Amino acid sequence: TCSLWPARADNASQEYYTALINVTVQEPGRGAPLTFRIDRGRYGLDSPKAEVRGQVLAPLPIHGVADHLGCDPQTRFSVPPNIKQWIALLQRGNCTFKEKISRAAFHNAVAVVIYNNKSKEEPVTMTHPGTGDIIAVMITELRGKDILSYLEKNISVQMTIAVGTRMPPKNFSRGSLVFVSISFIVLMIISSAWLIFYFIQKIRYTNARDRNQRRLGDAAKKAISKLTTRTVKKGDKETDPDFDHCAVCIESYKQNDVVRILPCKHVFHKSCVDPWLSEHCTCPMCKLNILKALGIVPNLPCTDNVAFDMERLTRTQAVNRRSALGDLASDNSLGLEPLRISGISPLPQDGELTPRTGEINIAVTR
């Protein structure tokens, strides 16, 4: 036995309509009828999309052999005289959908319900051109055999078929699948390459930043070692109650305190300002860049990134500085005393933090 149906019957690129089927079974001797619903029905492509109701009938046996397919020219239906509308129940296979539907229509059926012949297959969109106004619906094999079991026991089965949802065509061909797959792979490659590049750049940036921070820390330590330190003695101006407190710890200066004097003449506790300078390289009050002020200029600016106008402070003594540096180059035994800036007035009481223009004197000792 061969199974014949058009190749277009299960074409997923076609739209279709679902069929909502309500089945009512009236068993003899039972009060309330049994009802169940079939939601997975599907209208045929050439079938009218309309509602219909009728009693379900299966073909009569032919020469004592059950006829479930409805393909034989001798297929007949036993229609009770009082039934005006009836629906044929047939199984898929052995002939085309058009032949099955046309044979049922010949016997005045208002609709044909064809159930699948494979239990794991979903209903397909049947094609049956030229079958007229008869309604054709396909359901699963399980539901079709459930209904057939009642009919074989001569139990009356009523069925109502209603139009369900219009399902759009699934225009997803093999070529589209290949295109989407290739596009996804290319996108993944590009994304992976970008991530690799990003992490490489991040690692390079982190390493460069760490190196620069180490260089900056070394330069800060070198600059701190060149700053002047002094121990506060009794009678020094720092012990005066009116003298400014340490801007870092906000404590006054006491006798025997060790203080650090910056090139801008601001005074701080050594224990307070050294950690600050190691991290920031600038005066906590006026933001003077001590690296530039002491002539130690690293590749990177200080953490505070505050520019210090060295030219403005040294313009008047540029000639003296060049001559002093020339002497240093000619004699390696020369010692450079701590930088001393003159001409800068003390911090005013109104809170002005910017150092004023002054002079830089460099004293050279042999």
Nearest to 5 by CA among 44, 55, 51, 37: 44
Neighbours of 109 (CB within 10 A): 23
The answer to whether 134 and 110 have CB atoms below 8 angstroms apart is: yes
Dihedral, CA atoms, 266, 269, 273, 274, nearest 10 degrees? Answer: 120
122 plus 22 within the same structural domain: yes
The domain that holds 136 is classified in CATH as 3.50.30.30
Measure the CA–CA gap between 141 and 116, rounded to whole angstroms. Answer: 5
Claim to verify: residue 163 and residue 246 sit in the same structural domain: no
- Contact status, residue 163 vs residue 20, Cβ threshold 8 Å: yes
Instruction: State the total domains in the chain.
Output: 2
Give me the CATH number covering residue 283.
Answer: 3.30.40.10
Q: Is residue 157 part of a domain?
A: yes
What 3-state class would DSSP assign to 13?
coil
Determine the Cα–Cα distance for residues 147 and 26; give it in Å rounded to an integer: 12
Per-residue pLDDT of the chain (366 residues; tens, 9 = 90+): 333 344 344 455 578 899 999 999 988 877 788 999 998 899 999 999 999 999 999 999 998 898 999 999 999 999 998 999 999 999 999 899 999 999 999 999 999 999 998 878 889 999 999 999 999 999 999 999 999 999 999 999 999 999 999 888 766 567 778 888 999 999 999 999 999 999 999 999 999 988 888 888 888 888 888 888 989 898 888 888 888 888 889 888 888 899 999 999 999 999 999 888 888 888 999 998 888 888 886 555 565 443 333 343 344 344 444 444 444 444 444 343 444 433 434 444 444 444 444 444 444 343
Indicate if 107 and 211 belong to the same structural domain: no
- Residue 268: which domain range? 202-365
Q: 219 with 161, same domain?
A: no
User: Among residues 144, 167, 190, which one ends one of the domains?
Assistant: 167
Angle at CA of residue 160, ends 100 and 129, nearest 5°: 30
Do 152 and 261 have their domain in common?
A: no
Give yes or no: residues 214 and 323 share one domain: yes
Angle at 186 between CA 181 and CA 187, to 5 degrees: 95
Threshold 0.85, pTM exceeds: no
Residue 45 included in any domain: yes
| Together in a domain, 153 and 209 | no
Whether residues 158 and 221 fall in one domain:
no
Write phi, then psi, for 180 (nearest 5 degrees).
Answer: -65, -40
- Reading phi first (left if > 0) and then psi (alpha if -120 to 50, else beta), residue 235 is in left
For 268, phi and psi rounded to 5 degrees?
-140, 160
Place of tokens 């309509």: 17
**Residue 77 is assigned to a structural domain of this protein:** yes
- 1 inside domain: no
Question: Among 208, 348, 345, 219, which residue's Cα sits nearest to residue 282?
Answer: 219
The contacts of residue 258 (CB under 8 Å, 6+ apart) are 229, 230, 231, 232, 269, 270, 271
Report helix, strand or coil for 20: strand
86 in the same domain as 23: yes
Domain check: are 248 and 354 in the same one? yes
In a domain, 185, yes or no: no
**Domain final residue, candidates 167, 191, 210:** 167
**262, 284 Cβ separation under 8 angstroms:** no
339 in a structural domain = yes
The C-alpha atoms of residue 300 and residue 288 are separated, in whole angstroms, by 16
Q: Residue 161's Cα: distance from chain center in Å?
A: 45
For every residue of 239-289, DSSP letters joined together read GSTTSPPPTTT-----TT-EEEE-TT--EEEHHHHHHHHHHH-B-TTT--B
- The answer to the question of residue 85 being in a domain is yes
Q: Contacts for 286-291 with beta carbons within 8 Å, 24 or more apart?
A: 286/347, 286/353, 286/354, 286/355, 287/353, 288/262, 288/263, 288/264, 288/355, 290/220, 290/223, 290/224, 290/227, 290/262, 290/263, 291/219, 291/220, 291/223
Q: Classify strands 52-57 and 86-91 as parallel, antiparallel or unpaired.
A: parallel
Of the residues 118, 140, 167, the one at which a domain ends: 167
| 103 shares its domain with 217 | no
| Residues 144, 226 share a domain | no
pLDDT at res. 240: 85
In a domain, 262, yes or no: yes
